[in-house]
Amino acid sequence: MVKAVKIAATAHYVPQRIVTNDELSKIMETSDTWIQQHTGIKTRHYALDENTSDLCAKTAVKLLKEAQLPATAIDLIIVATITPDALTPATAILVQQKIGADAAVAFDVNAACAGFVFALNTAEKFMRQGIYKNALVIAGEVNSKMMDFQDRTSTVFFGDGAGGVLLSAVDDPAQEAFVAQELATKPAPEVIHSGRIPHVTQVSAQNYPSLDAFYQDGHAVFDFVITEVPRYIQHFLHINNVSLEELGLVVTHQANLRLIEGIAHKLALPLHLFAQNVVYYGNTSSAGIPIGLDLALKDGRGHKGLSLLSGFGAGLSYGSILLDLSHVGNH
């Protein structure tokens, strides 16, 4: 059995094209003032000529470079996404092909905005078997391709990007990254959904199905996050005998800044402990947590105390992972 699972590297990638609030105001009824007041978001990135597998592959290349590993050393690739290149094959297999990780097994996870937490939890369990030595866990989204650009209530929130980690099985127990984890789902599929495929209504040459537009019930989402998520986090920490004061970094789903502020207030934690990449990247769905984790580590945060990752999204799906990041990379 594996003695420890270490986070050997973190990385992220966002497309070059930056879309400002003012630019969105030219194509829909909104304004920079309205967007910032309601969401805290200033800019987001759009992948105009890239797809999810491209963003994830570029993140994977960064992870391999940081960990100083060849792609052939990767045994497992898990991609979390709700905006795959296609319904099949898995986006993870496309990433595998793009980076030349021929020895890996690859598959996708769909748990909406909690996807990275679900994927990371899954990968860690694979690593414990002792069969898999190095794993890429990446969340990537091209949200811009499923937005209704006449709907300001949803479109202004979202951006594109990818982030991830490289896990390695090691013999030194002191390098263990995973402290505790928990996943949960609460059936409420009507609250957030995207790309529902309609069923066949008649046998017809014109009966080619098209995807429904993305939808979220903003009020229901807000109520769930502000009331249930802080309570869930407190319970998760309690059952694992961890106090709020032991946290050095909190990376929640980057839905919008107002929700992050609300969670911080309910937990009575200072806002500076929370990742806030949503301000310049927008809501990147499952990618928000690994992007925030990478930015925090690159800024020198996260190496002291425990780090909490907490994702929540459509389903409703939610989960948390407590990490010890003191040994990430060369630390």
> What separation, in Å, do the N-terminal and C-terminal C-alpha atoms of the chain show?
24
Among 285, 229, 279, 287, which Cα is nearest to 39's? Answer: 279
Contact 267, 233 (CB under 8 A): yes
Give the whole-angstrom CA distance, residue 170 versus residue 48.
40
Q: Round to whole Å and give the CA distance between 250 and 246.
A: 11
Residues with catalytic roles? 113, 253, 283
Q: What is the three-class DSSP state of 206?
A: coil
**Closest among 251, 268, 247 to 324, alpha carbons compared:** 247
What CA–CA distance (Å, rounded) separates 225 from 158? Answer: 17
Rounded-to-integer distance, Cα 52 and Cα 30, Å: 28
As a whole number of angstroms, the distance between CA 275 and CA 295 comes to 8
Q: Is the dihedral of CA 17, 21, 22, 28 positive or negative?
A: positive
Centroid of chain to Cα 115: 6
